[in-house]
Amino acid sequence: MQIRVELLALVSWCHRHNKPWPPRMNLAKHFTMNSNAVDYHMARLIREGAVKRIAPGVFRLPSPPAPLPAPQEA
């Protein structure tokens, strides 16, 4: 359960802070999806478009948009 929660937290953090992550992660080894809490949060991330389920236990994490370039000092 701890590994599942840590991975979920990583996915959530990347999504929230607009950080890049691997475009495809196989979470089947870590997420057995037995926990209702993990299911609920994964379902929310899938609904929000942060995670796409492409196969049982395999999720694609779309890359967030590129950050805007920092303004140049004149």
More confident residue, 45 or 18: 45
Mean residue pLDDT across the chain: 60
For 4-44, the pLDDT digits (tens) are 556 666 666 666 666 555 545 555 444 444 456 566 666 77
Per-residue confidence (pLDDT) for residue 32, from 0 to 100: 46
For range 49-57, the mean pLDDT:
68
Q: Residue 46 pLDDT more than 70?
A: yes
Q: How far is the CA of 8 from the CAs of 17, 38, 45, 73, in angstroms? A: 14, 7, 9, 39
* DSSP H or E run through 47: helix 36-47
